[in-house]
Structure 1
Amino acid sequence: MVRRPVMGEVRIEYGQIHVWSDPASGSPDLTEALAGQGTGLCGAAVAGTLWLNTGLHTGRVGFVVEVLDEEPALDPVWEDVVEVSFRPGPLSTTLAEWGGGDTWELGLPPVDTGCGTAPGAWTRRGSARSGCPESRGSTTTSCSSGPRRPPRTDCSAQTSRAAAYWHRVARELPPPPTPEQRAETERLAREAYERAVEEERAHHERWAWGGRPPSEALRGIGGNVARLLPFDSDLVHALGAEDPDTQRAVAVLAARRACEAAGLDGLAWVDVALTAVTEGRRPLPPPFHEEARLWEAVYADSGLPDRWVVEAVPPERPPYVWPPLPAAPPGPTDARQRRSRLGRGLRGLIPPDPSDDEVPVMTVDVGYRVAAQARRTLQARAWTSQMHAALPTVLAAAEADPLKAALEAVWHAVNTYGEHHRTLLDEVRALCVARRTT
């Protein structure tokens, strides 16, 4: 019984077409596919894949896949014939054109299979190139399953110099690694890659935290600590090392100084909240007991101070330089990676997908700065509403975690002080030093 899942023309690129037993695993390089074989027309050295070389470089060629119950007899019209052993995977087996072209399901069972290929038009190899009239050669691939002799890669017929060339290439290649050797190589590469990824993560973390890694408490604090770090990373680390009472004192100081800078000190409802923060009373008195109620009260009172300050800008620092990473470990590849590997086997050049281009994403800091978006100097320097920056310091100082209370209150106070933020940070540092020496 003969079944022909493929019968017609296929598109050939770089003289190759492939059989994938598991399309998700990709295709090997040419040298991998031919390693250790005596034939160069059908590479079967990597389990589950076949690399078929054709007589045509680029164009369309007649192609027939025959699935038989027993080995076929040699047809005298076949110019070059080779046979290899192949075991399909359990899911599917497909014939695939190079570069993500058409595919055909072959429907091969997952049993030992003998595959013979007879690529025609070898005498016209190189006559059909991109932009030239297409040559009409033919290739027949026959697959037969059932009890078989030991695995083999035989050349049953050879009549062309091109076929002789590929046979010689295959015979000169070193034998492929054993499955155990391949697994060990992949394991070592994977471990080296994972180590490098972790070293890269730690390298970037040290840079982001001012040249040293953060404590576990700082690493897990979240909030605005990443925004405060560029202003004074040493102070952030110092706050992380202080005792809870000092951290709470810093939070209260930052809240009071921010409200003073914004002209909110002296307002009864603000002073009551600052007193509650200082005494550690929770929840805060209205309207600070709920953030939504706080802003409702602010927008309902047109008599509040309306002070603005040039926004705070951290000192400049050199941009981060990523350390080089080793090559990614071998493993499953997507379609674009697989296409690149196929072309590399014959030094093919593949145009990149437009989807490969990385598109930079810009993020916008959404918060009280929205209130300042219309205020610009003639030099386009941004301004910050001090009232909108100062009130969150009171909420931050009431945080249950004293470290988070200190960091968040200082962050909002820095924005309240704007271009004069250095004055605030120096006072915070002096408070920490004074508490440590008393």
Structure 2
Amino acid sequence: MRTVYSGELRVSYGQFYVDSRRDDDGPAAWAACAGQSNGLCGAAVPGRLFLVTGLHTGRVGLTVEVHGAAPPLDDAWEEVVEASFRPARAPAVVLPWGDGPLCTLDLLPTEHRVRYCGRGMDRGREEELAVLEGGAPVDHYLLQFWPAPPAPDVVVRQTSGSAAYWHRHARNLPAAGKETVPGDPETRSWGGRLPSRRVREAGGDARGLVPLDRELIDAVDAVCPRTQRCLARWAAHRALTEAGLDGIDWITPALAALDRGEPLPDPFDDPERAWGRFFADARTRRTEAAEPDGSGNPLRRTTALPALLAAAEPDPLRAALGALFAAAVTHGPGYPALFAEARRRFPALVRDTPPARGPGRI
């Protein structure tokens, strides 16, 4: 056994990679896990691995090992998955998001098995602020490689909610090349099946959710108006908190009114005045964020304010869909965790099947 690396790894957007190719185009999350049983170690793109962590941004512990044969499984690891991996060429490198190689793997371009283990994934999500403020990493990971013939990927052990979410997501992804959006253009525009007329009339916010989580649209439509209204309020709070706007003195009264079910106070009773106040206040200066699918560069705080305005819509379905979409854009590539949290907070949203679509390239 050879330990290639043991230390800390900086992650962004809850991901890092192993890459043995020489182009700059990283795998999309959905492509990396397409057709797999596990959603933590995406091995569907030849020559690459897409690896998921519980922590969104900060430092995690990582050990990388190369073995001559399958190593024994350590019971200390809470999450364990395995997949087959064939490097496109030597060497392969471990890559943090948006950074240079962390370490080099001198693997021959032959078939290997990779085992990816983790512990503390849920804590990584919950204690991110403490890690960002200099605390020790709370989630840790182990990557092990050894020569082995190709075999299907497998979930060996699962204990955390984070891992369960990503496994469900992967199992709902189509294998590469499979037609997934049949029907006429209108049906295709809704991800392969038409929603209710009420959803179709809800406008662009509902359509914006289609590539993010098609199943969630129908789930929101199916719950009662009271749950829709509560979901809208929750999403507005999450968006404004994510953007750092929840403590602004002229915004907090609007959140309080929203929670009481009252009309939004001045200036939010007139969207034009609300935006004028927003851009005139130096405390609400704009900050950058990525689109939910990883593209573009909208402004995080500018996308959070519409969540508040949407949540006050008279129609509870339109309010819920609009606030959810605005909150997803505000969270950028971290939106799958937002949707997972919504399902935990509002169990009526949980349907018999996992989300039909997951994150794009993030």
**TM-score using structure 2 length:** 0.47
**TM-score using structure 1 length:** 0.40
